[in-house]
Amino acid sequence: LVSAMNRVQLLGRVGQDPIMRQVEGKNPVTIFSLATNEMWRTGDSEENQGALLFLCTLGDISQKTTWHRISVFRPGLRDVTYQYVRKGSRIFVEGKIDYGEYTDKNNVRRQATTIIA
């Protein structure tokens, strides 16, 4: 019985080579950014946007790029990601959304949204 679900699937391009970070007393994590693009034809309703690829020549096309922060904690996946994923790679990521807070260099609390792959 599933009482709740937190699942996301993304297909996009890697923004920079992954980095591996280790916080004292915790397991390492591989982190990278992923860009996804949403495209639509000017004047289209949301219901018609799925047919966009076939209608590219009809009207003005608008595009929005969204950047996602991806964190990989699972040891095998973390190491493979760090070793083989590179800037510009087109990849599929599946995971869950995690909302958190951190304090920046100026001691200001910030919100952070991360995809845990």
Where residue 75 falls (left for φ over 0; alpha for ψ -120 to 50; beta otherwise) is alpha
Q: What is the CATH number of the domain that holds 82?
A: 2.40.50.140
Q: Alpha-carbon distance 97 to 90, whole Å?
A: 20
Q: Which domain holds residue 77?
A: 8-39+61-116
Instruction: Write out the H or E segment, with its range, that includes residue 114.
Output: strand 109-116
Model pLDDT, residue 46: 53
- Asked if residue 55 is part of any domain, the answer here is no
- Asked if residue 33 is part of any domain, the answer here is yes
pLDDT in tens, 6-62: 999 999 999 999 999 998 888 999 999 999 999 887 765 555 555 555 545 556 888
- Asked if residue 45 is part of any domain, the answer here is no
Q: What is the pTM of this model?
A: 0.77
- Asked if residue 88 is part of any domain, the answer here is yes
- Asked if residue 1 is part of any domain, the answer here is no
- The answer to whether residues 109 and 101 touch, using CB atoms and an 8 Å cutoff, is yes
Q: Which residue has the tokens 């009207």?
A: 59
| Token pair in block for residue 10 | 């993304």
- Asked if residue 65 is part of any domain, the answer here is yes
How many domains, the chain? 1
- Compute the radius of gyration of the chain from its Cα atoms: 18
- Asked if residue 107 is part of any domain, the answer here is yes
Q: Alpha-carbon distance 31 to 10, whole Å?
A: 15
- Asked if residue 16 is part of any domain, the answer here is yes
Q: Is the pLDDT of residue 82 over 80?
A: yes
pLDDT in tens, 100-117: 998 999 999 999 999 999
Q: Is the pLDDT of residue 84 over 80?
A: yes
Q: Alpha-carbon distance 51 to 33, whole Å?
A: 28
Model pLDDT, residue 61: 83
Q: Alpha-carbon distance 71 to 68, whole Å?
A: 10
